[in-house]
Amino acid sequence: MTPVTNRQLYLHQRPVGVPTADDIRLRTVDVPSLADGEVLIENHYLSLDPAIRDWMSGNDTYMAPIAIGESIRSTTLGKVLESRHPDFVAGDYVQGLAVNAWEEYTVNSGEVLTKVVNDGKYPPRYYLSIFSGAMGLTPYFGMLELGRPVAGETVLISAAAGAVGSIAGQIAKIKGCRVVGLTGSNDKASWLINELGFDAVINYKDCDNLAEEIASVCPERVNIFFDNVGGEILDAALLNIADHARIVFCGAISSYNASGPVPGPYNYWQILAHSATVKGLLTTNYVDQFDAANAEIRGWLESGKLRFNEDIVDGIENTVDAYARLFSGMNKGKLLVRLAAADQQ
């Protein structure tokens, strides 16, 4: 039966700092009827990604900002309920890349909608975690295309227990590197070392001088810094880069909640002093390699070389609180919200 109402999170006002329930509010709207070429999706899982915070800010960077009153744009995983698009039929599981929203039902024009090839081996929600752009492909291309790891090199990862960092580090391990993670709790540090195989982890909340701590853990300096955080952590890393280092600029979560202009790294000069390279990462540059990348990631999963964690929160009404955990460093792995419809299969 076609649903008639849709609970939806929308941008009520632009957040100052970490978004709250004042900024992002829940409302109930009608489910529109489908036009030709459109697909009605019942969302099962919402993806909670740091980049969405940037779209809330009104800055026009690589994606248009979310307008006031608009639903919160997101990648979601769901099931097709109705289709007037030739490529999709009811019952298909689909992933809508950064064009769906934090809502129960989405009408999608089919343009950036991917059918989930579900061979029964993995739950469809893996297409929102390990097989997604944000968790699997971002570290894959960031590490391999921009980092270009060479066996024996030292690789440093910020936000190492996050969705991207935890995979980036393991890919560097697969390539024979020594991998050091930066994270904010001893629990996550143990997980990275004991379960994911990191060589060392620094709890940055637990040390007086991060640059000195990195120097002591990375005596041969850092060949690749995979940066999700920016700010003081980037500055500490820059003081420890090796000659010809590659800095993979994947994100800058430390600045996403800033209300004024945020300076770049104070140690920017080190880039020149060490003939280093800073490379901005946008996964969408590699669309034509997505299938091959996902095949390789599957292979690593199946051979046990790659592990991951999904940090799942239940209920659309808990989305905003869950989202705040990304910025306090409390999530371990990929943060997802499971909607009620996911349980009814």
| 214-222, 268-276, 295-303, 329-337 -> range binding its own copies (CB under 8 A) | 268-276
Please report how close the Cβ of residue 61 comes to its own copies at its closest, in angstroms.
4
Secondary structure (H, E, C), 29-91: EECCCCCCCCEEEEEEEEECCHHHHHHCCCCCCCCCCCCCCCECEEEEEEEEEEECCCCCCCC
Please report how close the Cβ of residue 190 comes to its own copies at its closest, in angstroms.
31
Question: Residue 90 interacts with its own copies (CB under 8 A)?
Answer: no
Question: Residue 274 interacts with its own copies (CB under 8 A)?
Answer: yes
How far apart are the C-alpha atoms of 200 and 178, rounded to whole Å? 9
Question: Residue 280 interacts with its own copies (CB under 8 A)?
Answer: yes
User: How many Cβ atoms from other residues are within 10 Å of residue 260's Cβ?
Assistant: 4
In this structure, what are the phi and psi dihedrals at residue 9, rounded to the nearest 5 degrees? -90, 135
Please report how close the Cβ of residue 312 comes to its own copies at its closest, in angstroms.
28
| 75-83, 92-100, 246-254, 301-309 -> range binding its own copies (CB under 8 A) | 246-254
Q: What are the Cα distances from residue 131, in Å, to 144, 168, 172, 267, 289?
A: 16, 14, 18, 35, 13
Q: Which of 268, 287, 302, 317 binds its own copies (CB under 8 A)?
A: 268
> Which has the closest alpha carbon to 294: 169, 53, 127?
127
Size of the site for its own copies (CB under 8 A): 31
Q: Which is nearer to its own copies, 54 or 311 (CB)?
A: 54
Please report how close the Cβ of residue 306 comes to its own copies at its closest, in angstroms.
25
Q: Which is nearer to its own copies, 88 or 256 (CB)?
A: 256
Question: Residue 275 interacts with its own copies (CB under 8 A)?
Answer: yes
User: How many Cβ atoms from other residues are within 10 Å of residue 176's Cβ?
Assistant: 11
Question: Residue 252 interacts with its own copies (CB under 8 A)?
Answer: yes
Q: Which is nearer to its own copies, 136 or 265 (CB)?
A: 265
> Which has the closest alpha carbon to 49: 333, 308, 342?
333
The count of C-alpha atoms lying within 13 angstroms of the C-alpha of 190, restricted to the half-sphere facing its C-beta, is: 3
User: By CB under 8 A, what part of segment 45-64 binds its own copies?
Assistant: 61-62
| 118-126, 169-177, 218-226, 255-263 -> range binding its own copies (CB under 8 A) | 255-263
> Which has the closest alpha carbon to 40: 32, 50, 29?
32
Secondary structure (H, E, C), 231-247: HHHHHHHHCCEEEEEEE
Please report how close the Cβ of residue 234 comes to its own copies at its closest, in angstroms.
9
Sequence-distant (≥ 6) Cβ neighbours of residue 212 within 8 angstroms: none
Q: How far is CA 46 from the centre of its chain?
A: 12
Q: Which is nearer to its own copies, 55 or 127 (CB)?
A: 55
Q: Which is nearer to its own copies, 54 or 82 (CB)?
A: 54
Q: Which is nearer to its own copies, 142 or 181 (CB)?
A: 142
Please report how close the Cβ of residue 64 comes to its own copies at its closest, in angstroms.
12
Q: What are the Cα distances from residue 322, in Å, to 46, 49, 311?
A: 11, 11, 10
Question: Residue 25 interacts with its own copies (CB under 8 A)?
Answer: no
169: which 2 tokens? 């580090």
Please report how close the Cβ of residue 273 comes to its own copies at its closest, in angstroms.
4
> Which has the closest alpha carbon to 96: 107, 87, 82, 86?
107
Q: Which is nearer to its own copies, 252 or 342 (CB)?
A: 252
C-alpha R_g of the chain: 20
User: By CB under 8 A, what part of segment 103-122 binds its own copies?
Assistant: none
Question: Site residues (CB under 8 A) for its own copies?
Answer: 61-62, 230, 249-252, 255, 261-282, 285
